[in-house]
Chains A and B, each alone.
Chain A
């Protein structure tokens, strides 16, 4: 959740980007890559598949921006949920950009600013976002080296990237910010990247304390529940007593006169109450719950025999692995393994904050 006050906006980045446009060919920047992309064929083939989430957001500056003041911003469409990806993805970016993790402003899942990477679920964040960021960072580093090589009139191999600068063996250097201008990073990524070799890693694979923990143990804002907007109202949903229950009648007047109640909202079987203060909403929700009548019906499978029900629902049957031949002379052991049908519930309840702006747009 991007709720830090001093985060830059997309507009300020665009407004602040310098007017100087340096053009150079991408193929030159990647001339040193181990496997250069194939030359375009005619008729033009569909765009090459790019690694990880780069395939959906193909421009390098969707993922990494380097500003004229030499500050670096890295973006991910994945959300930090306590799984530590904010820290892990930061490590990936820092490694390939050859900078310290503290030098990067890291923006997570923000609909207006970051790539849209869909859900943060299924252990996909490192695989998809991590792959995109690693490739983008390696390609940005290659572009910076190529630009410095051009300016210094020497081969990129005579240069190294270190601590937000490109250094030449003869002592000349330029900061990343000096090497990047408006459009330098607004280029499509290439399918292949010249990655750092694992033996030279300084950040990846090394322990780095989670960057989100200090705020969480000192009461700093860290969750969507911690957002407080001017004039913010609080709502509570009146939950049905069972799945698929139908709301047949409710007495709105029961809540109307209660302190702080602003409105009661009904949309089909959805019933909620809005109040000025949170506990007023809780009280009104309890009152409304007593005044609501629901028609319940059986929709759940037999709870006493869930394993059988789950087997009836079975959709995918496969072989995990197969090797060798079962000997007819040996003993054969057979076993069936099952596990309970469970879903993990988090202690933090679902929460959303919405703000209707004067221009009619709704920020959620």
Chain B
């Protein structure tokens, strides 16, 4: 069955079973690496993407519910040559160890920063409570998200973190 999805501003026609969770469509049909398969059960947060401004676990949401909605993945925040504020901040503060959970963390942070560009550590901890990580960069992740807020504020364009492809 053909489904229309809008991902990072670009329209796509997908041929998939409508019950397929978004994650598999992003990774296998659209060849996007950002959203990660961690547990496949909505427990680890590494598949987090943003849908209409809200952080969503893409391994749990069937694509049929997403027609006509704005899906943003980490690829929509900037590129390796022109990183967006969140990406810039995570690179600047070296806020990754293995990095597998990080895109999910960043998308939760993206949803948070869209509504609050100056979050407290408490706000960040709450927004990222569903994102698990086993290694040692938690304090850097907090610092990077605060830094991204500063970068966005300096640019006075909170929405500038989201790029429109194509």
Contacts and interface: CB of A to CB of B under 8 A. Distances in A.
Interface of A: 81-84, 209-210, 212-223, 225-226, 228, 234, 259, 277-280, 282, 344-349
Contacts of B16: 277
Between A222, A344, A346, the greatest number of chain B beta carbons within 10 A of the residue's beta carbon is seen for A346
B151 to A, nearest CB: 14
Given A219-B74, A278-B28, A346-B134, A259 B97 contact: no
A209 B91 CA distance: 8
Between A210, A213, A347, the greatest number of chain B beta carbons within 10 A of the residue's beta carbon is seen for A347
A219 B90 CA distance: 13
Chain A at the B interface: SS class: loop
A219 B75 contact: yes
A234 B80 CA distance: 29
A345 B100 CA distance: 12
A348 B100 contact: yes
A349 B27 contact: no
Contact of A209 (B33, B94, B133, B135): B94
Interface in B94-140: 94, 96-103, 106, 132-135
Given A81-B98, A82-B97, A217 B74 contact: yes
B135 to A, nearest CB: 7
B61 to A, nearest CB: 13
A278 B94 contact: no
13 contacts: A82-B100, A210-B94, A210-B96, A214-B83, A217-B91, A234-B28, A259-B17, A278-B27, A279-B21, A344-B134, A347-B36, A347-B132, A349-B38
Chain B contact-residue range equals 35 or more
A72 B40 CA distance: 42
Given A220-B80, A277-B24, A347-B101, A213 B37 contact: no
Contacts, number: 109
A104 to B, nearest CB: 19
Interface of B: 16-17, 20-21, 24, 27-28, 31-34, 36-40, 44, 46, 73-75, 77-80, 83, 86-87, 90-91, 94, 96-103, 106, 132-135
Contacts of A347: 36, 38, 44, 46, 98, 100-101, 132-134
B46 A218 contact: no
B78 A218 contact: yes
Between A213, A215, A223, the greatest number of chain B beta carbons within 10 A of the residue's beta carbon is seen for A213
Given A209-B91, A214-B91, A221-B33, A345 B134 contact: yes
Between A217, A225, A228, the greatest number of chain B beta carbons within 10 A of the residue's beta carbon is seen for A217
B134 A349 contact: no
A143 to B, nearest CB: 35
Nearest to B100: A348
